[in-house]
């Protein structure tokens, strides 16, 4: 903002007016209003190269993308180290309050260097990533191209216009909070609760209703804080990955994950790779080294935004999205702030269509690598397949358009290069329960 100087003729009243203007301008700037940050990127639907498809807009112009360096084994954060949206690892109490923050480079320690409880199953806290830093929520706006299946995505630290939404920050009471929580670890079942803790085997072979029940068992009596992961959370995180990496090839940029370069088969059971293997690897880590290709498989988990196993270990079920006989049905909040008429996330199985959910377009007619996404105000939804491991979105989708399916994301260890941030299992009903299907904890505080 240009400096406002005092004209020679300014009288006392004029000085008061000038001081008021300066005060308002300062308040706007520090509160994330006009003059706040708006990052943007555009996806070109005509381009097949996953990196060339993405171009930076607004405040992202000129920034250096992030990437995992396969030669050094180190993650290069580029220009994004101090980005307002970067989450922080913490131990969170059952009532939704933050007990303490963790050392981002070693989760076994608190920020002050003392020992954390990240692996202690006798206490009731969970290890979570805290989104929303310094009072700034994360606002997202999706703008479709008028005639094509491309568009623009904007991420801001303030509501730059009414079309910017911060759906993950709404709690079960319909209030917009300063934080929401996603899991550091894939879900483990401990004493009847879905937990996010280190050193634990993954929960598996549970249906959607059971997973939700185990997640809600973390709630204090009469409160709705804890649930499984949601579609709105996944959409925000995926678009942040596209933004940071300036590419749609999330495996190539951030890491392939377990089995991400080739199928490992059923040898990768949930007990083979317990949680916590990347506790000391920072917020981002993965294996993109060419020697992994030579050996034919990869046994290193991927870690993005402080979360292990976001793809290529075990499918993770996400509340708020169904493939209802070939039609995407979505819900973004636990209340009706998103325009839906359903009061909360509900489990609808196989033959039962979701009621009160929002229709968001047609799913692909068959299986394949995603070529086109439909850009909607709700998120990016796969609509056309026919790509490959290194073209377009680079992630695979499976569909079953004959029934209603509860959606999983990320891929699992037997899926090889089919995995990735947007890899989608749209074939399984809510009753589906196998070792490679799981869920993870999320939460929004009530105060």
Query: In this predicted structure, what is the pLDDT of residue 5?
Result: 32
Rounded distance, CA 30 to CA 25, Å? 9
Q: In 128-164, which positions are buried (b, 16+ CB within 10 angstroms) versus exposed (e)?
A: bbbbbbeebbbbbbbebeeeebbbbbbbbbbbbeeeb
Which pair of structure tokens corresponds to residue 261?
Answer: 């370069």
Distance CA 374, CA 361 (A): 8
At 395-409, the pLDDT tens digits run 999 999 999 999 999
Is the Cβ–Cβ distance between 39 and 154 less than 8 Å? yes
Longest Cα separation, the chain = 82
Distances 420 to 234, 256, 326, 361, 393 between C-alpha atoms, Å: 12, 8, 22, 22, 9
What is the radius of gyration, based on Cα positions, of the chain? 22
User: Hey, how many other C-beta atoms are within 10 angstroms of the C-beta on 393?
Assistant: 26
Euclidean distance between CA atoms 276 and 198, whole angstroms: 5
Look at residue 6 in the predicted model and tell me its pLDDT.
32
- The Cα–Cα gap between 322 and 350 comes to 10
CB atoms inside a 10 Å sphere around CB 325? 15
For 326, residues 6+ apart whose C-beta sits below 8 A from its C-beta are: 362, 363, 365, 399, 401
Contact (CB, 8 A) for 369 and 395: yes
How large is the average pLDDT for residues 352-379?
Answer: 94
Who wins on pLDDT, 295 or 445? 445
Please name the residues in contact with 72: beta carbons below 8 A apart, sequence gap of 6 or more: none
Q: Considering the chain, what is the average pLDDT of its residues?
A: 88
Name 203's Cβ contacts closer than 8 Å, sequence gap at least 6: 187, 188, 189, 194, 211, 214, 270, 438, 439
Identify which has the larger pLDDT, 42 or 388.
42
User: Does 267 have pLDDT greater than 80?
Assistant: no
Measured at the CA of 361, the angle between CA 356 and CA 366, to 5 degrees, comes to 120
pLDDT greater than 70 at residue 145? yes
Which band of pLDDT confidence, cut at 50, 70 and 90, is reported for residue 147?
A: confident
pLDDT digits (tens, 9 = 90+) for 188-204: 999 999 999 999 999 99
Least confident stretch, 32-41, 127-136, 177-186, 286-295? 286-295
For Cα atoms 440, 446, 447, give the angle at the middle one, nearest 5 degrees: 130
pLDDT at 73 over 70: yes
* Residue 331 pLDDT > 50: yes
Is 18 a residue whose pLDDT tops 50? Answer: no
**How do beta strands 380-385 and 368-375 pair?**
antiparallel
DSSP notation for 380-391 = EEEEEE--BTTB
User: Does the global pTM surpass 0.85?
Assistant: yes
Question: How many Å apart are CA 329 and CA 362, to the nearest integer?
Answer: 9
Pairing of strands 180-183, 126-131: antiparallel
- CB neighbour class for 294 (10 Å; exposed up to 12, middle 13-18, buried from 19): exposed
| pLDDT-derived band at 361, boundaries 50, 70, 90 | very high
Write down the residue that tokens 């004029």 correspond to: 14
Contact 395, 422 (CB under 8 A): yes
Of 221, 169, 222, residue with least CA distance to 334 = 169
Distances (CA, A) of 170 to 125, 341, 445: 21, 16, 9
Strands (E), 187-274: 188-190, 193-195, 226-228
**Residue 16 pLDDT exceeds 50:** no
How confident is residue 75, by pLDDT bands cut at 50, 70 and 90?
very high
pLDDT at residue 118, rounded to an integer? 98
Q: How far apart are CA 205 and CA 355, in angstroms?
A: 26
Exposed, middle or buried, 223 (CB in 10 Å: 0-12/13-18/19+)?
middle
pLDDT of 247 > 90? The answer is yes
For residue range 82-121, list pLDDT tens digits in order. Answer: 999 999 999 999 999 999 999 999 999 999 999 999 999 9
């Amino acid at each position: 903002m240009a400096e406002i100087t005092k004209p020679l003729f300014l009288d006392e009243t004029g000085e008061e007016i000038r001081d008021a203007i300066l005060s308002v301008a300062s308040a706007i700037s520090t509160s994330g209003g006009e003059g706040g940050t708006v990052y943007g990127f555009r996806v070109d639907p005509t381009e097949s190269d996953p990196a060339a498809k993405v171009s930076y807009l607004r405040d992202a112009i000129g920034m250096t993308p992030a990437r995992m360096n396969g030669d050094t084994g180190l993650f290069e954060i580029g220009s994004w180290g101090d980005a307002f949206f970067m989450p922080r690892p913490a131990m969170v109490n059952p009532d939704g309050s933050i007990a303490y923050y963790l050392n981002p480079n070693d989760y076994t320690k608190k920020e002050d260097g003392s020992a954390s409880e990240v692996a202690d199953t006798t206490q009731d806290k969970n290890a979570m990533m805290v989104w929303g830093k310094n009072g700034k929520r994360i606002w997202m706006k999706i703008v479709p191209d008028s005639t094509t299946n491309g568009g623009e995505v904007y991420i801001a630290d303030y509501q730059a216009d009414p079309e910017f939404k911060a759906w993950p920050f709404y709690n079960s009471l319909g209030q917009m909070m300063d934080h929401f929580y996603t899991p550091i670890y894939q879900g483990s079942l401990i004493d009847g609760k879905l937990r996010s803790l280190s050193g634990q085997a993954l929960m598996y072979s549970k249906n959607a209703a059971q997973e939700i029940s185990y997640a809600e068992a973390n709630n204090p009596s009469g409160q709705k804080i804890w649930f499984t992961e949601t579609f709105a959370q996944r959409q925000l995180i995926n678009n942040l990955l596209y933004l940071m990496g300036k590419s749609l090839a999330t495996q190539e940029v951030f890491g392939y994950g377990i089995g991400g370069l080739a199928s490992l088969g059923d040898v990768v059971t949930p007990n083979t790779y317990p949680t916590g293997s990347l506790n000391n690897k920072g917020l981002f880590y993965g294996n993109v080294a060419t020697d992994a290709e030579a050996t034919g498989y990869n046994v290193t988990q991927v870690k993005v935004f402080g979360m292990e196993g976001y793809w290529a270990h075990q499918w993770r079920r996400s509340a708020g999205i169904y493939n209802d006989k070939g039609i995407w049905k979505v819900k973004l909040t636990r209340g009706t702030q998103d325009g839906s008429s359903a009061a909360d996330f509900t489990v609808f199985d196989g033959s039962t269509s979701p009621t009160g959910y929002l229709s968001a377009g047609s799913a692909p007619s068959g299986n394949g690598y995603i070529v086109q996404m439909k850009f909607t105000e709700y998120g990016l939804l796969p609509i056309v397949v026919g790509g490959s491991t290194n073209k377009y979105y680079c992630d695979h989708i499976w569909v079953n358009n004959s029934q209603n399916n509860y959606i999983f994301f990320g891929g699992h260890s037997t899926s090889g290069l089919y995995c990735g941030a947007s890899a989608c299992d749209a074939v399984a009903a809510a009753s589906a329960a196998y070792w490679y299907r799981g869920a993870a904890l999320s939460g929004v505080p009530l105060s």
